[in-house]
Amino acid sequence: MAKLVDIVQRESCFQPGSALCPGCMEGMAFQNIGKLTDNGRKTIFTLGTFCGEVSTLQYPTPVAWGRGERTPDDWTKSFGVIHHVFESAPTVAEGIRDMADLLATTGALPGPVQVCALSGDGGALAIGLRPLLHTIARRTRIVIFVMVNEIYANTGFQYSPTTSIGAETSTTPATETVPGNFMPPIDYIGLAVTAGAGLVAQVSPAFPKYFCRVVEAALACSTTAVLFIPSPCITGWKYEDGTTITLARLGCETGFFPCFLKEEGRPGQLKFVELDPGKRPAIEEFMGPQRRFHHLVRKSPETGSFEARPGREQIFSQIRASIQQRLESLTRLTV
Ligand SMILES: Cc1ncc(C[n+]2csc(CCOP(=O)(O)OP(=O)(O)O)c2C)c(N)n1
Ligand code: SF4
């Protein structure tokens, strides 16, 4: 692995000027991915429709992707980005991979190409689940990044298949009798492993060294690598400015978004989270600062810490059980 100190000095292909909300985790992830892909290969990204696309490529907003207005003389610094229909990032990336491999056999390319697909969790796991699974099943040599913010953010914060139990979204409103979303999130990591991906991980820039190590491994993978990046959404989750990284860390440590890595043929790992619930921070610490959970959590008038609102104990048991079940099933996948 390249040294962290060298990686941070590389030039990112994601530049300032996007219209992502200040504090959006997607911007932080793209900055880092942009540096990690500056690795001696030409990079081509395919972007489905999601915040990471509409807020970075839409005219007249400055285009945030690339390294200047003209193609750099150095092939390895050159960069391509393609926006296509919502659900097709893996499929379009697969077509580019095939074409690049074909051109390489004719000697038409001056150097190696790496292809990455980027989309939101709605794009990848709802409407785009079929393209995702079939691209994985074909063992296509691409890296698929999925930004998991648990909602369809850019179209109005609707529920997505990854939404946590109890979260309020614009299509799962919280009322006296309905506690927001009541469906457990889809097992997206299990699906990607089962479909046959060469590498599956859930990683966050909140754990920078681990993030860099795993993205580098994904870029070196000889088949499909799928990286899920939990993406706290300041506008949709409704939390205070300046707390994105804290929430991302807590999201992992409380078990909502455990860091995970499984490479084909090797034992996997569950990172930065304890399997024993007694050793994890309370889930209220993660939920409390987010207004999407305010119908469930409040600040205790006595202690000032976050606690379950009276009468909401049943939904808390469901959330805890769902987290424990997820961690145990991920642990089984590490074998
Ligand atoms: C076939 C089709 N259906 C619906 C839409 C509208 N649409 C565009 S983006 C989007 C939701 C994207 O959600 P997600 O992938 O989670 O990304 P986020 O906005 O959260 O970043 C929807 C419903 C579309 N563009 N195409
Ligand atoms: S709405 Fe959420 S995901 Fe979209 S740019 Fe804002 S913070 Fe990021």
Compute the mean pLDDT over every residue in the chain, rounded to the nearest whole number.
Answer: 96
Predicted confidence (pLDDT) per residue in 94-134, tens digit? 999 999 999 999 999 999 999 999 999 999 999 999 999 99
Average pLDDT over residues 260-264: 98
Q: Is the pTM of this model over 0.85?
A: yes
Distance 17 CA to ligand 2 centre (A): 15
Chain CA centroid to CA 12, Å: 18
132: domain CATH number is 3.40.50.970
The 10s digit of each residue's pLDDT in 130-139 is 999 999 999 9
62 pLDDT above the threshold of 80: no
**Ligand 1 contacts CB of residue 215 (under 6 A):** no
Q: Are 188 and 197 in contact (CB under 8 A)?
A: no
Rounded Cα distance between 50 and 48, Å, is: 6
Nearest ligand by distance to the CA of 155 = 1
Average pLDDT, stretch 246-269? 98
| pLDDT attached to residue 235 | 98
Predicted confidence (pLDDT) per residue in 36-45, tens digit: 999 999 999 9
Query: Which tens digits make up the pLDDT trace of 1-50?
Result: 889 999 999 999 999 889 999 999 999 999 999 999 999 999 999 999 99
Is the CB–ligand 2 distance for residue 149 below 6 Å? yes
Q: How many domains does the chain have?
A: 1
How much of the chain exceeds pLDDT 70, in percent? Answer: 100
From 18, 24, 146, the mutation candidate for ligand 2 (largest count of ligand atoms within 8 A of CB) is 24
Q: Is the CB of 94 under 6 A from ligand 2?
A: no
Nearest to 270 by CA among 184, 219, 335, 188: 335
Residue-range definition of the domain harbouring residue 89:
4-333
pLDDT of 215 above 80? yes
| Residue among 199, 192, 235, 224 nearest 214 (CA) | 199
Residue that is written with structure tokens 């290969």 in the block: 41
In angstroms, rounded to a whole number, what is the distance separating the alpha carbons of residues 121 and 151? 7
Query: What integer pLDDT is reported at residue 68 of this predicted model?
Result: 83
Candidates 60, 58, 3; CA nearest to 212 is 3
Look at ligand 1, atom 11, and give the residue with the nearest C-alpha: 152
Can you give the pLDDT at residue 60?
A: 76
Ligand 2 proximity of 233 Cβ (cutoff 6 Å): yes
Ligand 1 center from residue 315 Cα (angstroms): 29
Which pLDDT score, from 0 to 100, does residue 254 have?
A: 98
Confidence bin at 185 (pLDDT 50/70/90): very high
